Amino acid sequence: MEQVRTARVALSGVAEPGNLALWRRVSSYGPVAVLEGLVAQGAAGAPSLFATGDAAESIDPGRRAAESLALTQRLGARVVIPEDDEWPAQLDDLLKICGKGGGDPVDRDAAPPLCLWVRGQQRLDEALARSVAVVGARAASGYGGHVAREIGYGLADAGWFVVSGGAFGIDAHAHRGALAAGGGTAAVLACGVERAYPLAHANLFDQITEQGLLVSEWAPGADPFRHRFLIRNRVIAAATVGTVLVEAGARSGARQTLRRARELGRRQLVVPGPVTSAMSVGNHEELRQPYDPPARLVTGVAQILEEVGRIGSDLAPPVRGPDQPRDRLGTTERRLVEALRRRAPLTAEQAAARAGVPLADAVRILPVLVLSGHAERHGDGFVAARRPGGAGSPAGA
């Protein structure tokens, strides 16, 4: 087993994560055999295994992997491989989407990770089994940050694991919300799990390590190069039941995570925002696209839970305004109540004319409204009751 782990760590340096050809070879022949074959072929067989920028041809990849594993252990982290019980099997769904989405290598090479570096106490599979991705722009607005925190808090409070990146903005707000609820949250990084990138998140990552998990496909020491964020996004989408896009500009990389979720058959949930905000332009574009299935508009945690939860167990209450006493009245009854005035009494004829209902109905119903407390008799006429029927003054709708 440790030979397999070492081989997978070594192979993770051969190509950027997601490389489909390498994943297939590993899947067919096993990591140990593939590594041995590449070493036997030398630099010609696996150029980037040896091209680290140093005069690296002389370094034995097996020894380098063993050193990386030892470093991992010293950092309080571990390497989780598909052969482990805690491997999240849903990541294998990534095989379905390789090549979807266009000619970009990132789209072709969307294979599952060869292994994952993990910091934190919880089992990776258990944490991710009931998890939701909350993603969005680094340059979040105050509105977006507030919404991300609320969603992170609400998901954690309902027993869901939050998954996001480690960036400023929406990522950080989602994590902080989950942490504030005392729940679990996972930051999937585009660099080594020992590395605080951005530096200002050192404390946040420490908290996540204590309450949740730091996860990466890259070995300790790896840099967060720009293209790695797009490679990483497929893991966020595949690990979770659904992805919530909180705020995204027109070109935000978070939209790619949402696309991955759609391709993987995960729920794609989008929070709307002010049309006057550049940080919601990407959200609204996603909601306007004729995807099959289309992205779903969500306004808060209740609706997110309804989408990701089992039907019936996490059903959101329908949104409606406060009950009014008149709600229980039929239409004719309501019209009559609204036609009545607070002071000047109306005869049944007058009330019928104002309400636009037949006189016979008014004659029959007005006494009933008196009994139900919506109207009061006043001489030969009727006035609106102070409560609970309310006023009959003109009012728009």
Q: How many CA atoms lie within 13 A of 317 on its CB side?
A: 3
Given the complex with its own copies, which of 118 and 304 has the nearer CB atom?
Answer: 304
Given the complex with its own copies, which of 300 and 325 has the nearer CB atom?
Answer: 300
Which 3 state secondary structure label does DSSP give 50? Answer: helix
Helix residue ranges per DSSP H, the chain: 2-11, 20-29, 31-41, 47-50, 61-74, 105-108, 124-129, 142-157, 170-180, 202-211, 226-239, 254-263, 281-288, 301-308, 331-339, 348-355, 359-371
Shortest Å, Cβ 129 to its own copies:
27
Given the complex with its own copies, which of 379 and 396 has the nearer CB atom?
Answer: 396
- Written as one string, the DSSP assignment of 130-157 is TEEEEEE-SS--HHHHHHHHHHHHHHHH
Given the complex with its own copies, which of 210 and 349 has the nearer CB atom?
Answer: 349
Shortest Å, Cβ 239 to its own copies:
18
Shortest Å, Cβ 195 to its own copies:
10
Given the complex with its own copies, which of 146 and 342 has the nearer CB atom?
Answer: 146
Shortest Å, Cβ 16 to its own copies:
4
Distances (CA, A) of 15 to 182, 216, 228: 38, 15, 12
Shortest Å, Cβ 1 to its own copies:
29
Shortest Å, Cβ 340 to its own copies:
11
Given the complex with its own copies, which of 48 and 121 has the nearer CB atom?
Answer: 48
Sign of CA dihedral 20, 21, 26, 31: negative
Shortest Å, Cβ 257 to its own copies:
9
Distances (CA, A) of 83 to 37, 86, 87, 193, 216: 21, 9, 7, 21, 17
Cis peptide before 388 (omega within 30 of 0): yes
In a 10 Å sphere around its CB, with 0-12 CB exposed, 13-18 middle and 19+ buried, how is residue 157 labelled?
Answer: middle
Given the complex with its own copies, which of 226 and 310 has the nearer CB atom?
Answer: 226
Shortest Å, Cβ 86 to its own copies:
27
The residue written with tokens 């990522």 in the block is: 171
Given the complex with its own copies, which of 1 and 311 has the nearer CB atom?
Answer: 311
C-beta separation of 197 from 191 below 8 A: yes
